[in-house]
Structure 1
Amino acid sequence: MVTPSMPTPPIAPMLAKVAAELPAADGFLFEPKWDGFRAIVFSNKDGIVIQSRDLKPLNRYFPELEKALAAVLPKGCILDGEVVVVRGSALDFDALQQRIHPAPSRIARLAKETPASFVAFDLLAAGGKSTMTLPQAQRRERLERLLGKPKSPLHLTPVTRDRAEAQQWLERFEGAGLDGVIAKLESATYQPAKRAMLKIKHVRSADCVVAGFRWYKDHEDAIGSLLLGLYDEAGVLHHVGVASSFTLEMRQTLVDELASLREGALENHPWRAGDDESAEDGQRLPGAQSRWSGDKDLSWQALRPERVAEVKYDHLQGMRFRHAATFLRWRPDKAPADCRYDQLEVTTPFELAKIFG
């Protein structure tokens, strides 16, 4: 029998596909879904390698985490997990995003101000040997033995076989900044780059003002995404995200459907200064370039903010939708002025420390 050797970087992480609800069948392990940067950590004779989901090294951005993991992880192990930043009693994805910065001085400062943690949820190698062909349940047992009772900044994600408990996690843990629940078959091997897990996320709807759009792949015969807005208590319209899940037929139909709203749209448009990240009054605007957008074209076309769309979203990150929203329907019965932040569900705070027991 050939002993599986220690894998070397990079390893494409195993992925998840979206499910509407927790699976009812037996044989699943449930874990909280962490809202951070997916990462695979290699501990070998040369030190620690922190690899991102897209197979790039993350060490330079998280020097404090590299040092801490090198001190506690045995050589010859590989962990799959999530890099997170904790602020107060919850995760802070905004602060985590700020950690990816080109300036070494900024990296050093943020490493002290907003230190990162690593939440482990799978074991890909131990003792210099691959464990990826083992069933998920066995990998979890070995992960628990390897880490014991880890101390911050290393954490072991909770796990349960109880669907009712997992449903409680889905309802309660969002207040600590978590992003849903992951379901994994106990019998499944680790399958790099395959969608072999299920993710169950919070689903909500909101009525939003449609105040602009972007073209579909640089073609001016189809709409790529609709720019969504919500009013705050002062009556300021903030750009909160986009809806982009359309068939090609609908993308083409939208061009004619929205044509009349383009006439004179920029004259008094609330986002007419939209090449900045925010206006002087803190208003969120579209079109801002960032280190996350790279060379992506963020130019947009204005629409008079007179139409309302109902969209499906998972949760807010600050004052914006965390991910792209899904268009559900037009709401001709809804006045744009009624599309306010106060319609959104308020998440009950939950102490992150309770999740780690």
Structure 2
Amino acid sequence: MISGHYFRFMNNPLDQLSKAELIALLGVWEKELESNTKVIESKDQRIEKLEGILAKFQKMLFGQKRERFESPDQLFLPFETTAEQQQEAQQELDEKVTCVRKKSRSPHPGRTKLPEHLPVEEIELYPEGNLEEMTCIGKEVTEELDYIPGSYIIRRYIRYKYVSKVQEGKSPIAIAPLPSRLIDKSSVGNGLLASILTDKYVDHLPLYRQLQRFKRENIPIAASTLDGWARQGMERLEILYDWLVKDTCGKGYLQADETTIKVLDSTKKKDTHLGYYWVYHNPVDGTVLFDYQKGRDQAAPKKILKGFKGYLQSDGYATYEYYGNQPGVTHLGCWAHARRKFFEALENDKVRATLALAFIGKLYEVEAHCRDKQLSAKDKKSYRLDHVC
């Protein structure tokens, strides 16, 4: 803000101002300059921030997607070579090409051997004609991999009823009980039910396509019946899901993340809504748990994370921070997400971003060694402490 003294001074020529007035005017100018400098610095920072955001979106649209980083310690090939070096390189290339051509003339190693655990059906073939006056001098064996389609059967249980001969008409009827089945009072067998669930949830074959397969075999099954079998079969497996939750969350180390999935809307035909798969990984045993939720709010992971104690590793989403701050929980970050921020910072702070990426690269090398050597948790900790700290 410019004071009234400034305008009063400016109405008079500078040579008519007194020394005190000149000093006062100089002070006003210095304050004005300082204020303008702060405004310019603020705008420069905002421009730099907006340019960074613009560069980020341009890279997302037009740049390469992988976050490749070359360490500053990596050696680079010289592009300027002398004529002698070019001649040596050409001679070495000719030798390599000749070597490759010689290798290409080597015989083909043959087909991959068929697995030995499969049953073998042998079919012996003999030449046509009279073989009594001929001698067998050997044989040639040719193998092929074939498939026998699965077959449907009707398993009919016939239970005979008995009564006492002595007290006929008064004694209770004796009859053998039916074998236990997953779905009582249903016509589906355990093997068929297991096949339906495996095809749907492991091989991703929808129920309507399985229904088409039944129709090809002339087996009439209503779509509602097939849906009911799948639903009741999953209900019987719920106890396994509960144990999976217990095993996954009970080792004190849990990695969590969420991803979107399109879900068919039961209220609108051929319409979908956006749901979320919350994924939990137990690195100790390698178990993975998928928990479907309609939303991504704080209440979504409550069923799994409520009461969890130990190390929770995730990205920086606020929901994880809430559960990571609960008593008995240590919240761990994710190096992949942290690295991405430094990679994006290469555009505006290359020196420090390069230093951080090089350090993270060293950490990745340590983890790659542990993974390749298949070290135990105890050996991993020892190797990390020796090569990182």
Question: With CA pairs under 8 Å and 6+ residues apart, which has the higher RCO, 1 or 2?
Answer: 1
TM-score by structure 2 length? 0.20
Higher helix share: 2
Higher strand share: 1
Rg larger for: 2
